[in-house]
Chain A
Amino acid sequence: MNIFESIFIALDAVRVQKLRSALTLLSVGIGVFAIIASTSIMGTLQQAVNGQLADLGENSLLIQRTPTIQFGTNWSKMRRRKNITYDQAKQFRERMTTTKLITISNTSPGYTIKAGQESTNPTVSLIGIDDLYFTINVTSISDGRPIVESEVLLSQNVAIIGQDIVNTVFAGVSSVGRTITIRNQEFTVVGVLEAKGGVIGESQDNRVLIPITVFNKYYTSPWDASVDISVKAESKFQLESTQDEAIGIMRSLRGVKPWDENNFELDRNDALTGQFSGFSTALLAVAWISGLGALFAAGIGIMNMMLVSVRERTREIGVRKALGARKAWIVRQFLIESITLCQLGGLTGMVGGVTSSWALTAVMRSIAMPNLVFVMPWGTVIFSITICTVIGLVFGLYPAWRAANLDPIEALRYE
């Protein structure tokens, strides 16, 4: 009863002192919001970078309609860019001379994979690939075989699945030769990807690879019909010439006038990930420092609120002591109250942070980054709950100590 009683009293204090509580809880909320929102958005972007670029091997280029990660870019300009169609990509492959190591792929997030009674969450990335995918990317197969050229040409329903999917729908046992269903289409599993692991919510194993021709038939929509082209130079020394040739051919295929800038994106793995990680570290640092600052200010606010509460309830404390409450009881009661207050603010910030980063992800996806998948920042949510508890404890301690050490005689006499 007592812990609930204390929580109830804390909520009651919020109700009685609406404005004062709202301001105090707002600052807790802002702190948590800053931390959660920034971490969540960065996690989402990071996953997109990892998913697309980390696979790209050495001496490789990635050609896309728009960059994977955009910041400081003109989104409306990006949106006006025409898709890189599968036919365009095939012509590009035909015309390249410096290298023939070219693979065409496309990704679409948010699929549910079913097998018998089992099904995954609707978070699986579906990737359309061709037979050179495994030659150029650093991904490899742990069981079964890759997708072969004839399967791409004949649009056959075969699939290579990630370890997460094996675990979810096939209970972790060998699944080569079995059947999965993706949006009413049945696929025969021919291979399993080597597990890459990853932290919660950022798994690299939560994907299914199918022939790009099949992908184009069933799983493209106008906003993600644009394919990606990965090009591997024959050696480190040919990377520059391969890049020059690739740019030239793409410009001519897409009809770019000599005086216009490229209407596609060409990136090297190393450059982009480096750029992104610098940016994300800076942004995270700013968000966390300001978030923790807000939380510290909130702590002071909580302490003030608790001190007022102790003063207003001096007589009640006197009564409790007269009835036999030990110091530890009084301390406990006030600490539970201050932690409850903190959690209340933290919860608000958490809901706000998660919701707004989810919404922002959705907006960015629809505008310019079709491969973004929202990553729920569980680690940060747990961190926020923990830090709210810590703040409630630290800043509630002095008021609680004051309350516990009140002289019962004085407290009973207090008007």
Chain B
Amino acid sequence: MAQNIIEIANLVKRYEMGNEEVFALRDVTLRLGKNEYVAIMGPSGSGKSTLMNMLGCLDTPTSGTYMFNGENVSEMNDNDLASIRNREIGFVFQTFNLLPRASALQNVELPLVYAGLNSQQRGLRAIEALTKVGLADRMDHRPNELSGGQRQRVAIARALVTAPSIILADEPTGNLDTKTGQDIMQLFGDIWRGGNTVILVTHEEEVARHAHRIIRLRDGLIESDELNTNATAV
């Protein structure tokens, strides 16, 4: 493993539910390297979503440390978190989460708007990203004029456009039919082969078997962390 992008040590996340304390994550230690293809699995209530929110810098831990490319995320404020999300993380959601009133191109440009790029640079990079996912000819369409698979491709282009350190995909095929899901997983394989780091969060074995490393969570702890030697993504 060449270089660690993510280093998590003794991560704990505790919620207060009335008078009760609920531990979503009890004690998680984890390292993720550059150009890894990882699946995070677990049943509901396992802490899988909480870990994903932590990895995505959407939330900070109760205790423990989270280093992202040498930066201490666990002590960041909201604006620093927004900034690191913008620079380092490309999100792909189960429900695509595209802005309905904006064209595919405008959707892909959005993270670059927050990065402060001018419109010419944004346009060039967004077109490049849409070309990568095979949607160059659909960039003026709005989400409601695109199929589910095409929408997810737009979302993937949006995740790629800032050239982030990790692509974080939450059940990316959950809202797609089998065939389209396979196409999307094919695309993730291509993205990984292009040198990106991909993290899938899923409960489907079918999806997880594309990854090279599978981390299973249960009750807020890592149950297993093993390499997937017969990954189908190759």
Interface residues of A (CB under 8 A from B): 1-2, 5, 8-9, 12, 315-316, 318-329, 408-409, 412
A324 touches B59 (CB 8 A): no
User: Given the complex of chains A and B, what is the CA–CA distance between A148 and B109 in angstroms?
Assistant: 77
A329 touches B114 (CB 8 A): yes
Q: Encode contact with A along B81-112: 1 for CB under 8 Å, 0 otherwise.
A: 01101110001010001010110001001110
User: Given the complex of chains A and B, what is the CA–CA distance between A322 and B58 in angstroms?
Assistant: 7
A324 touches B79 (CB 8 A): no
A319 touches B85 (CB 8 A): no
B78 touches A327 (CB 8 A): yes
**A412 touching B93 in the complex, CB below 8 Å, given contacts A322-B58, A323-B158, A329-B114:** yes
The residue in chain A whose Cβ has the minimal distance to the Cβ of B56 is: A322
For A327, the chain B residues whose CB sits under 8 A away are 78-79, 82
Q: For residue B85, give the distance in angstroms from its CB to the closest CB of chain A.
A: 5
A316 touches B99 (CB 8 A): yes
- Tell whether B53 is near chain A: CB-to-CB under 8 Å: yes
Task: Sample 20 A-B pairs with CB under 8 A, ordered by A number.
Answer: A1-B109, A1-B119, A5-B102, A315-B97, A320-B110, A320-B114, A321-B85, A322-B56, A322-B85, A323-B91, A323-B158, A324-B82, A324-B85, A325-B114, A326-B114, A328-B79, A329-B114, A408-B58, A409-B58, A409-B59
For B56, the chain A residues whose CB sits under 8 A away are 322
Q: For residue B89, give the distance in angstroms from its CB to the closest CB of chain A.
A: 8
For A323, the chain B residues whose CB sits under 8 A away are 85-86, 91, 110-111, 114, 158
- Tell whether B30 is near chain A: CB-to-CB under 8 Å: no
User: Given the complex of chains A and B, what is the CA–CA distance between A326 and B58 in angstroms?
Assistant: 12
Q: For residue A72, give the distance in angstroms from its CB to the closest CB of chain B.
A: 55
User: Given the complex of chains A and B, what is the CA–CA distance between A70 and B54 in angstroms?
Assistant: 75
Give the total of B residues in contact with A, Cβ under 8 Å.
Answer: 27
Other-chain contact of B97, A2, A328, A412 (Cβ < 8 Å): A412
Secondary structure call for the A interface: helix
For B106, the chain A residues whose CB sits under 8 A away are 5
For A9, the chain B residues whose CB sits under 8 A away are 101
User: Given the complex of chains A and B, what is the CA–CA distance between A1 and B91 in angstroms?
Assistant: 23
User: Given the complex of chains A and B, what is the CA–CA distance between A318 and B58 in angstroms?
Assistant: 10
Q: For residue B87, give the distance in angstroms from its CB to the closest CB of chain A.
A: 7
Give 7 closest A-B pairs by Cβ, nearest first: A324-B86, A324-B114, A323-B111, A319-B97, A326-B82, A324-B85, A326-B79
B85 touches A409 (CB 8 A): no
Q: For residue A33, give the distance in angstroms from its CB to the closest CB of chain B.
A: 31
Identify which of A1, A319, A320, A321 gathers the most chain B CB atoms within 10 Å of its CB: A319
For A320, the chain B residues whose CB sits under 8 A away are 110, 114
For B59, the chain A residues whose CB sits under 8 A away are 409
User: Given the complex of chains A and B, what is the CA–CA distance between A324 and B158 in angstroms?
Assistant: 12
